[in-house]
Amino acid sequence: MRLTTRYLLSNLFAAYLVAALAIGSLLWLLQMLDNLEQGLSGAGDLMLAAFSAITQLPEGLIDLLPVIAVLATAAAMGGLQTRNELTVMRVSGLSIWRLTAQALIPGLVVSGLALVALQWVIPEMREQPERLIGASLGESGLWHPAHGLWIRSGDEFLNVESLRLGRIPTGIDIYQFAEDGQLERQIRSNQALVQADGTWLLEDVRQRNFDDIDSNYFQVSETMPWQSFLNARQLELLLSPPAALSLSDLWQYVAGLKQRGQEVAEVEMVLWRRLVLPLTCLVMVLAAMATAAVPLKSRAVTVRLVGALVLGLGFQMLTELATYVGLLLSWPVIAVTVLPPLVLAVVATGLIARAR
């Protein structure tokens, strides 16, 4: 590897580290303020709040990775331009396209690491430390690694053996008792799909009414709606949000929803925004190079940094806006997630070509 390449890459990786530390510190502070607003009762709660804010940092940094990419690239290239080092590199024979290709390497490495983290690290960090959901569900809930989750509401008991892909309850048993304590009905289901209104659509159902002496066998049905007694907070604790799933689990979950004919656009949008993350980061590097390739008379790094920050945050907000509009108007998910970075890539490539 040439000396200029090593020098350029070292500057870029250092800029990525500084940008990540700066944005990470801001995210941690914002999360701490949010935790403090919920009320703390002592030093122990303060330590838990600080630790909770730290555990949420990786996911926040990954969400803002395009902003980090454009900010780091603009800072590194702006510094080289200010010291006339970028001019020396170009005079020595390094074309703007060669410099851009080298600048893409850190973006590719960092976005690849982000995908690895989304697949293996983030899901582990988002797991409820107890899967002790029972403790969070209140005194009526109990979770055991061998027997699953048990929850009681009045004379009705719910047992869930496990959660497939973090969101699909499997091995479900529902026991309904009479006022005198006698078991009236048992419902057994292989798995359930939780609807938006809290209703569970039980699949492969077998139920038996014990108050009917002539009913000795289970009545079998393919599906059966069950109005769950879990409130919104309990459901939130029980089911992992789509963003907490690994990439492979999220892919399987989306495929399962499509197979059942369920509404899938919102979850699929989360999946594709993660899959196009490397593309988005590389496009932001191109955009930063387009600004860094144009010499400024003042050669002010501050101007470049402000421009890069506005570009990164602006693109991030426009992407969020496109996501909501796409969901509202039922636009194709892949087009909504892939088209914006492709358009920006064309514009940035054109600007780099003009600056040759």
Q: Tell me the CATH number at 230.
A: 2.60.450
Instruction: State the average pLDDT over residues 104-120.
Output: 96
**pLDDT over 60 (residue 297):** no
**pLDDT over 90 (residue 47):** no
With a CB cutoff of 8 Å and minimum separation 6, the contacts of 265 are 327, 330, 333
What end-to-end distance do the CA atoms of the chain give, in Å? 24
Question: Does 185 share its domain with 233?
Answer: yes
* pLDDT at residue 144 in the model: 64
- Rounded Cα distance between 89 and 104, Å, is 17
The backbone torsions φ and ψ at residue 187, rounded to the nearest 5 degrees and listed phi first, read -120, 125
Question: Does 93 share its domain with 184?
Answer: no
Instruction: State the average pLDDT over residues 131-160.
Output: 70
Question: Does 234 share its domain with 147?
Answer: yes
For residue 144, the Cα-to-chain-centroid distance in whole angstroms is 28
- Beta strands per DSSP E along the chain: 141-144, 148-153, 156-164, 168-177, 183-194, 199-209, 219-227
85 occurs within a structural domain = yes
With a CB cutoff of 8 Å and minimum separation 6, the contacts of 94 are 4
* pLDDT at residue 335 in the model: 94
Please tell me what DSSP assigns to residue 241.
Answer: P
- Rounded Cα distance between 94 and 83, Å, is 17
Which amino acid, residue 286? L
The string of pLDDT tens digits covering residues 299-355 is 566 777 777 778 888 898 999 899 999 999 999 999 999 999 999 999 889 888 887
- In which domain, by residue range, is 212 found? 133-239
- Rounded Cα distance between 106 and 1, Å, is 15
249 occurs within a structural domain = no
Question: Does 306 share its domain with 220?
Answer: no
The backbone torsions φ and ψ at residue 337, rounded to the nearest 5 degrees and listed phi first, read -85, -30
**pLDDT over 50 (residue 133):** no
For residue 16, the Cα-to-chain-centroid distance in whole angstroms is 21
- Rounded Cα distance between 297 and 271, Å, is 44
Instruction: With beta carbons less than 8 A apart as the criterion, state whether 303 and 296 touch.
Output: yes
Q: Cβ-count burial of 142 within 10 angstroms (0-12 exposed, 13-18 middle, 19+ buried)?
A: middle
Mean pLDDT taken over the chain: 85
Question: Does 41 share its domain with 92?
Answer: yes
Q: In terms of Cα–Cα distance, which of 186, 188, 193 is closest to 206?
A: 188
Question: Does 58 share its domain with 165?
Answer: no
Q: Cβ-count burial of 349 within 10 angstroms (0-12 exposed, 13-18 middle, 19+ buried)?
A: middle
- Rounded Cα distance between 273 and 61, Å, is 15
* pLDDT at residue 130 in the model: 40
257 occurs within a structural domain = no
Question: Does 284 share its domain with 349?
Answer: yes
* pLDDT at residue 116 in the model: 96
Domain boundary among 220, 239, 258: 239
Q: Which tokens hold the place of 250?
A: 């999220």
**pLDDT over 50 (residue 268):** yes
Q: Which tokens hold the place of 75?
A: 């800072």
pLDDT-based confidence at residue 213 (cuts at 50, 70, 90)? low
251 occurs within a structural domain = no
Question: Does 121 share its domain with 199?
Answer: no
244 occurs within a structural domain = no
Three-class SS state of 342: helix
Segment among 67-76, 179-188, 304-313 with least mean pLDDT: 304-313
Q: Which tokens hold the place of 346?
A: 């064309």
179 occurs within a structural domain = yes
Question: Does 122 share its domain with 270?
Answer: yes
Helix locations, 173-300, DSSP H = 232-238, 247-260, 265-275, 277-292
Question: Does 137 share its domain with 121?
Answer: no
Residue 229 CB neighbour total at 10 angstroms? 15
pLDDT-based confidence at residue 296 (cuts at 50, 70, 90)? low
* pLDDT at residue 49 in the model: 83
Question: Does 112 share its domain with 137?
Answer: no
- Rounded Cα distance between 25 and 57, Å, is 9
301 occurs within a structural domain = yes
Question: Does 110 share its domain with 170?
Answer: no
Q: In terms of Cα–Cα distance, which of 280, 196, 175, 304 is closest to 242?
A: 196
The string of pLDDT tens digits covering residues 81-108 is 888 888 888 888 888 899 999 999 999 9
pLDDT-based confidence at residue 8 (cuts at 50, 70, 90)? very high
254 occurs within a structural domain = no
Q: In terms of Cα–Cα distance, which of 116, 121, 111 is closest to 16?
A: 111
With a CB cutoff of 8 Å and minimum separation 6, the contacts of 226 are 174, 187, 192, 199, 200, 201, 202
**pLDDT over 80 (residue 238):** no
**pLDDT over 70 (residue 216):** no
Residues in the chain: 356
Kindly report the pTM of this predicted structure.
Answer: 0.85
Number of folded domains in the chain?
Answer: 2
